[in-house]
Amino acid sequence: MSFEYVILLHGMARTKNSMRKLEACLAGNGFQTVNEGYPSTRKTVEELAAVHLSAMVDQCMARGAVKIHMVTHSLGGIIARQYLQTRRLPPGSRIVMISPPNRGSELADAFRNWFFYRWIYGPAGRVLGAGPESLPNSLKPVSAEIGVITGNQSLNPLFSWMIPGEDDGKVAVERAKFPEMADFFVVPSSHSFIMRHPEVLTQTVFFLKNGRFSRESGK
């Protein structure tokens, strides 16, 4: 039995089902998985990290985990960074962030004062802007081996018009990056479905095992 665990963190207003394909892929490659839902639209990022992510880490530790990796989508990456502000993962643990707004999103700035945006996305959605005062841009550097995967195809031309440069329909490619990442990889996919992209599955497993992405595809 493997004692390498992977915590999967779904994105904003999504459920654990959105990470099922990744979960199956990881399990098929010898990892133990923890894939649980959390109230992404009802709690602050700080609460989600301190209560919900902490409980998942504790669950892994109780099962005898030697390494605790994380694979996150969108908001999940910011929750992981928030968790790491005050805590550390066991040595050798790695994180793959998929389409994270590591430097915020222009869309959050554009819509955060709209009633329906605030109603749907809650307190976490209001702090994900691209300005220097936003939560993603206010977090301290973290001590972890992190790989970032993002997409460059959009299903929403209007949103893409509002976002400078290449984007996945919600997050600019450049805003997925942050200084302490160990590696960066772009796939031709949109924000909402990138977690199921075959290349993302392959690269996620490769990074967790090697601490870098595979360049055999030439990307």
Q: What is the pLDDT of residues 9-18, one digit of tens each?
A: 999 999 999 9
Q: Which domain holds residue 17?
A: 4-210
C-alpha to C-alpha distance for 69 and 30, rounded to whole angstroms: 13
Q: Return the CATH number at 160.
A: 3.40.50.1820
Stretch 166-186: mean pLDDT: 97
Position 18 in a domain: yes
211 pLDDT more than 50: yes
Position 215 in a domain: no
Q: How many domains does the chain have?
A: 1
User: How high is the pLDDT of residue 218?
Assistant: 43
User: How high is the pLDDT of residue 216?
Assistant: 77
Q: How many residues does the chain have?
A: 219
Kindly report, residue by residue over 8-49, the tens digit of the pLDDT.
999 999 999 999 999 999 999 999 999 999 999 999 999 999
Position 63 in a domain: yes
What is the H or E stretch that residue 24 is in? helix 20-28
Position 206 in a domain: yes
User: How high is the pLDDT of residue 219?
Assistant: 46
Position 39 in a domain: yes
